[in-house]
Structures are given as C-alpha cells and as structure tokens.
A = this chain, B = another copy of it.
Amino acid sequence: MSPEKAQHIRESFAAQSMMATIGAELSTIEGGSVTIRAPILAGSRQQHGFAHAGLTFSIGDSAAGYAALSVMPDGYEVLTTEMKINLLAPAQGELLIARGKVIKPGRRLVIVQADVYALNDGRETHIALLTGTMMPIAPE
C-alpha cells in the first residue's frame, strides 16, 4: 500500500467526528486489513454497563470499510451498503479491538469482514463478527 493511501485513510478517519466521540483510534493499516481500537468509555455503554452494540458496530464497520479502502485505487472512497453483525459474547472490559479485512475485492462491490475483541485484564474475548459490502465511489 502506498504512503499516500495510508495517509488518505488517516485523514478520512480523523474527519469522522464519531470516532473522536467514542475515543477510537486507528491502530494498524495494511493492504487489505485495518485495526481500530476504542476504550469502553463511561458514555459508550448499554444498560448493564457493557459496551453498547453501537460502539462495537461503529468500530467494526469502520475497520472493515478502511480495509476495503486500502485496496482501492487512489482517489476512490467507499460506502457501506450493508453490514451484518453477530454478537458472540458480552462486550466487557477496558477496550475493544476491531480487525477488518477484505474477503473479496471488486470493481463494483468489495466484500469485507471484521472481528471485534474485548480486552479484559489482558485477555481477548471474541465478541462480534461482522460481514458486509462496501461500494467503491470513483473520483469525480
């Protein structure tokens, strides 16, 4: 992946105010895979004190989307068209880690997946699996 592409991803991520609101940060960027981490903030919880599914979805979707963007030609953007999340375990701990990857690149659609883990006392638990579709948007 070119340095320009990595820079594009970093700028796009920084322009997503939702990522700042939930405290998320881009952790690693490689060709075809991107990792995002977010603390389980006091303001990101559901009624039992675990991470809200909206937090899990937000970073899983973004990790999958940037994984897709990492394999696009320069100047392209991507949009999520659909995303399914299967929740595997309670999102309990200090931190969530979302690892997105490309399953199948394509000119018209890119199929992606993300696995989300909760870090609790140093132990990772697999809490969610996302599979979805990104649509490339060509530069105008």
**Residues on A close to B: CB < 8 A?**
12-13, 15-18, 20-22, 41-47, 52-55, 57-58, 61-62, 79-89, 103-104, 108-109, 111, 113, 126, 129, 131, 133, 135
Task: Identify which of B13, B44, B85 contacts A82 (C-beta below 8 A).
Answer: B85
Whole-angstrom distance between the Cβ of A104 and the nearest chain B Cβ: 4
- Give Cα A3 to B83, complex, Å: 36
A87 CB contacts on chain B under 8 angstroms: 79-82
A42 CB contacts on chain B under 8 angstroms: 17
A126 CB contacts on chain B under 8 angstroms: 103-104
Task: Identify which of B45, B84, B89, B111 contacts A18 (C-beta below 8 A).
Answer: B45
Whole-angstrom distance between the Cβ of A116 and the nearest chain B Cβ: 12
B53 touches A58 (CB 8 A): yes
